Amino acid sequence: MSVLAQETRGRTTPLAWLLVLGIVLAALNLRTGVTSVGTLLDQLSAGLGMSSVGTGLLTTLPVLAFASVGAVTPSLARRLGEHRLLLLALVTLGAGLLIRSLAGSATVFLLSSAVALSGGAVGNVLIPTLIKRHFPARTGIMTTVYTTALAAGTMLAAAATVPIERASGDWHIALGVWAALAAVAAIPWLALLRSEPERDTGSRDASIRGLLKSRLAWMIAIYFGTQSMIAYIMFGWLATILTDSGYSTSQAGLMLGVFTALNIPVSVAVPMIASRFRDQRPVVVGLVAFYVVGFLGLWFAPGSTAMVWVVFVAVGMGSFPLALMMLALRTRTPESTAALSAFGQSAGYLISGAGPLLVGVLRETTGGWAVPYTMIFVVLAAQLLTGLYAGRNRFLEDERMAG
């Protein structure tokens, strides 16, 4: 039963607040395993003797984990229970982060990273499901809380890992800190084990396989994939775009930091705006428009104005919280949300993973940015078309009944 069903006259129960705290702490951890590593790649390669193949695998692991483990999360939740599974995911995440912080070989580091990212992948799918189950009337505000905490955790790990490494003089300590944060996040879910929701093990809504024939599910998956692809391209290549425009590496790094930090206010604003409407198509169009202006500016405007266009692209990145909102807004039941979350994110991350690699190949082959930017605009066209379908006020269950 939804904890909000226990509310009376607008007064929220302690259980509801405990769930909010649990979701916030879990969300803070879902990307620390990814962004804490990117800033230390040189030290890790030298310290572990990691080859370029190993480094490439390390940067690909998040996509592989999010796609594969995310797909089996609904079936695991039906067997174990949602609260138990999220607790297990956080313990797995923390254990993986701790083991890799102690690793002395590239193999152990890669394997423990895969373990940690698997825990994060489960959380990616489960949290939208928990929001739908426990806060069905407040999906918008809870998605705002979730995506803001996710963005904050992403930025915190990216920004704080290097200062911790410099202060301690040891990258092992800098990475081990994030295992402690995962341990803290597990505490509320220990208390929430008593309030485990009843499991609907026979629900037809919970079948991911049944979504393979769903047009709505595919539109949401492609929308999710295109926005993730743009995000991965920007995080991977923005600094290079800026240095190619005449900025120093330190200036490019600062602008990348600003770009990352802007994800927090955008993550607050977009769900709050989108939840005011039953139809999210105007928001889809608006975000794509910001992307278009931003990328046209980066492509054609003088390099000295790059910061303006970076801000436009950062606002366009609001398509990520919007895509997460759609997982709950386009379904009627938590079971359907779980299936759509798993399907949309798994397929979406598989789609997105090729983006940075394609940009690199196209830039190296053509010797410039014209073809990569053209590819980005093709991706944006796909994002617009799929978003216009997915943003319309409709439900996955109704599509199945019509079929």
Mean pLDDT across the stretch 248-265?
Answer: 90
Domain finish residue from 199, 231, 254: 199
What pLDDT shows up at residue 8? 31
Assess if residue 402 is contained within a domain.
no
Q: Is the pTM of this model over 0.85?
A: yes
Same domain for 185 and 215: no
Nearest to 303 by CA among 255, 261, 257: 255
**Predicted pLDDT of residue 6:** 47
Q: Which band of pLDDT confidence, cut at 50, 70 and 90, is reported for residue 402?
A: low
263 domain residue, yes or no = yes
- Give residue-wise pLDDT tens across range 311-364: 999 999 999 999 999 999 999 889 899 999 999 999 999 999 888 889 989 999
**If we measure between CA atoms, which residue out of 150, 314, 319 comes closest to residue 235?**
314
Q: Please write the tens of the pLDDT for every residue from 46-79.
A: 889 988 788 888 888 999 999 999 999 999 999 9
Query: Average of pLDDT values for 134-142?
Result: 90
Q: Is residue 374 within a helix (H) or strand (E), and if so which, with residue range?
A: helix 370-390
Has residue 235 been placed in a domain? yes
Q: Has residue 292 got a pLDDT over 60?
A: yes
Q: What is the C-alpha to C-alpha distance for residues 144 and 314, in angstroms, rounded to an integer?
A: 17
Condensed to tens digits (0 to 9), the pLDDT of residues 144-168 reads 999 999 999 999 998 899 899 999 9
Question: Strand ranges (DSSP E) for 168-257?
Answer: none
The pLDDT of residue 2? 52
Q: Are residues 234 and 173 in the same domain?
A: no
Q: Which two tokens stand for residue 278?
A: 């039953």
Q: Are 60 and 352 in contact (CB under 8 A)?
A: no
> Is 172 within 8 Å of 101 (Cβ atoms)?
yes
- For residue 4, pLDDT over 60 is answered with no
Residues 221 and 162 in one domain: no
Q: Compute the distance between CA of residue 279 and CA of residue 393 in angstroms, rounded to an integer.
A: 5
* 321 in the same domain as 183: no
Comparing CA positions, the residue from 256, 263, 229 lying closest to residue 152 is 263
Measured between alpha carbons, how far is 291 from 63 in angstroms, rounded to an integer? 23
Nearest to 285 by CA among 386, 382, 388: 388
Residue 331 sits in a domain whose CATH number is 1.20.1250.20
- 184-202 pLDDT, tens digit per residue, is 999 999 999 988 887 665 5
Whether residues 157 and 265 share a domain: the answer is: no
Give residue for tokens 């499991």: 199
Tokens of 213: 């024939």
- pLDDT score of 12 more than 90: no
| Owning domain of residue 80 | 1-199
The whole-chain average pLDDT of the chain stands at 90
Residues 261 and 180 grouped into a single domain:
no
Find the range with the poorest average confidence among 46-55, 227-236, 376-385, 388-397.
46-55
What per-residue confidence (pLDDT) applies to 9? 38
Q: Same domain, yes or no, for 354 and 216?
A: yes
Residues 241 and 356 in one domain: yes
Q: How many structural domains does the chain have?
A: 2
Classify residue 403: in a domain, yes or no. no
Q: Is residue 156 included in any domain, yes or no?
A: yes
Residue 11 banded pLDDT, cuts 50, 70, 90: low
Helices (H) and strands (E) in the chain, counts: 18, 0
pLDDT at 207: 65
Q: How far apart are CA 246 and CA 302, in angstroms?
A: 10
Quote the pLDDT of residue 323: 95
Which of 177, 199, 221 is the last residue before a domain boundary?
A: 199
Question: Which of 199, 219, 246 marks a domain boundary?
Answer: 199
Report percent pLDDT > 90 for the chain: 71
Does residue 111 form part of some domain?
yes
Do 178 and 245 lie in a common domain? no
Average pLDDT over residues 225-239: 92
d(CA 384, CA 319): 10
Same domain for 392 and 339: yes
Residue position matching structure tokens 């994060």: 120
Alpha helices, H only, 169-280: 171-191, 215-244, 249-261, 263-274
Q: Identify whether 213 is part of a domain.
A: yes
203-214, pLDDT tens digit by residue?
544 467 778 889
Verify that 184 and 282 share a domain, yes or no: no
- 155 and 135 belong to one structural domain: yes
Asked if residue 268 is part of any domain, the answer here is: yes
